[in-house]
Amino acid sequence: MTDVVVMSLERWDEVWRRNQHLIAGLLHRDPTLRVLFVEPAVDPLHDLLQRQRPRWPRGLRPGPPLPSGPTRRLWLLESAKWLPRRLAPAVDARLASKVVAATRRLGWKAPTLWVNDPDGAAVLEVTDWPALYDITDDWLLADRPAAETVRRARAEAILMERVSQVVVCSPELARTKGQQRDVVLVPNAVDVAAYQRPQGRPGDLPAGPYALYVGTVHRDRMDIELCVDTARVLRGRGRLVVVGPLALSPRDRAQLERSGVALLGPRPAEQVPAYLQHAEVLVVPHVVTPFTDSLDPIKRYEYLTVGRPVVSTPVAGFRDAGDPLITVAEVSAFASAVAERVPDRAHRLQAPVSRVPSWHDRVEQFAEVLDRVSAP
């Protein structure tokens, strides 16, 4: 295993997700490994139509330093989608050609392809690279326009047929995708040491007690109306605080802020444990849908590692956890269950009840898969 091209669903930024944890661990584990991390293409025209400042492609560039230190073995690639697919049906093929051109610039001859974004199937169609498909969300179950769902279903069919290994992150994905072919289950995890190392209370938190949600705020996952109700019930006792990227309409954002939710936005990965450690209660106000049932929430591992009480709707990862720190509440009882725990300091930073898996464990599992894919 020497060179790997990763087709990612997210950019490489300070909000670390599964891909970044795995890649950083793999680079630390193997000093011969080189990685090209392909970020989603920017869409300047869409930004302009949404009256947002357009993001311009940053092209091929060295990656940032990693926790283990600076490295010249991580590269990032960001291209642009200049026109909608309905006007430029060959856009995915052009984006794939940019990926191939980037590997040539780097002098790579036969990298292994790691596809997380199903649109990465376009690269598989123009190369003979050995490949794996890492499924972290079942986007075929998400509420998306029909054309997007059809496109992704077509791409996934190509991947499921042609890659040599399929990896899934949740038992539900293992069940559903495993009906089509053999899959390997590699769940998510947490940096245990970082989350158990005591940190000071962040200065940007509102004064007083608070309930905390950490994660991307999007209607695919988040029950916006439940957050509004919870914030109102907490009024006078504490605040509902949200740390994470905000993928919200202006109307949803305004509704949350009017109800008293403190939307702090994303924070660098190394700062997130402090917000968790000082919360009275950690919350998961998620919708319960086939899409959320496909997930293995990273926050489950993060929440349990800091040993704080948790209140969750009955979603995958929490409803069957069997951990005494977790209270599973239906929507009708969720807000009151959170409010009952906001003034409660009795569980302050107690140790996790059971061992929480670390990213080191998952890196070893994923390295075995990559070795199988890359083997001649």
Right CATH for 3-189+359-374 from 1.10.3720.10, 3.40.50.2000, 2.60.120.560, 3.10.20.70: 3.40.50.2000
Pairwise CA distance, residues 141 & 290, whole Å: 6
pLDDT (tens digit, 9 = 90+) per residue, 287-311? 999 999 999 999 999 999 999 999 9
Token representation of residue 187: 């769940």
Answer whether residue 339 shows pLDDT above 90.
Answer: yes
Answer whether residue 262 shows pLDDT above 80.
Answer: yes
At residue 320 the predicted structure's pLDDT band, cuts being 50, 70 and 90, is confident
Q: Rounded mean pLDDT of 220-227? A: 96
Q: Is the dihedral of CA 203, 207, 212, 217 positive or negative?
A: negative
Nearest to 311 by CA among 236, 240, 216, 220: 240
pLDDT (tens digit, 9 = 90+) per residue, 153-183? 999 999 999 999 999 999 999 999 999 999 9
pLDDT at 353: 47
DSSP string, 170-195: SHHHHHHHTTTS--EE----B-HHHH
pLDDT (tens digit, 9 = 90+) per residue, 324-338? 899 999 999 999 999
Span(s) in the chain for CATH 3.40.50.2000: 3-189+359-374, 192-341
Answer whether residue 345 shows pLDDT above 70.
Answer: no
* 276 backbone dihedrals φ, ψ, rounded to 5°: -70, -45
pLDDT at 69: 77
Give the CATH superfamily of 192-341: Glycogen Phosphorylase B; (3.40.50.2000)
At residue 350 the predicted structure's pLDDT band, cuts being 50, 70 and 90, is low
Nearest to 151 by CA among 81, 101, 199: 81
